[in-house]
Amino acid sequence: MSFIITFLSSLFGLSLFGLSTDTTCRTSQFTTLMYHHIREYDQLPDDAKNISVSPKEFELQIHYLSKNGYKSITSQDIHNGTVPCKSVMITFDDGYYDVFTQAYPVMSYYNYTGVIGLILARIDESDYLFGSDIKSLQKA
């Protein structure tokens, strides 16, 4: 399991159009799933709920992708032209700490990769990834 750490400005402006079932392999055809928070959100205000998915929901989504033959990709796969059929890029915006505590264990279990868009000014702040977490994710 590896996470590719990238900066928000270097993301390709990819959008989610729905999971493709196209069996033709082309580097320009893949789905991007974007997450902010993986956390329990029942007691949160509505604006926080809108950018959250529960750990259980996240695990069910990743399980679905795995069960249905989707392969996770990173920007490096696009650059190398190695995007397989039924590909999905799983991204995490802003670099919240729950990527490390909630998403990483699930992604690791399913042997999936992810891309984190970091806000550099927030590294080492409360609720965001610490430098040591980022290094651990890069090595994973």
Q: Where does the pLDDT of residue 11 fall: very low under 50, low under 70, confident under 90, or very high at 90 and above?
A: very low
Entry pTM: 0.80
- Give me the domain span that covers residue 59: 3-139
Structure tokens at 131: 């430098």
* pLDDT tens, residue by residue, 14-36: 333 445 555 445 556 788 999 99
Domain of 30, CATH number, reads 3.20.20.370
Total tally of structural domains belonging to the chain: 1
The burial class, CB within 10 Å (0-12 / 13-18 / 19+), for 62 is: buried
Pair 35, 53: CB distance under 8 Å? yes
Pair 128, 119: CB distance under 8 Å? yes
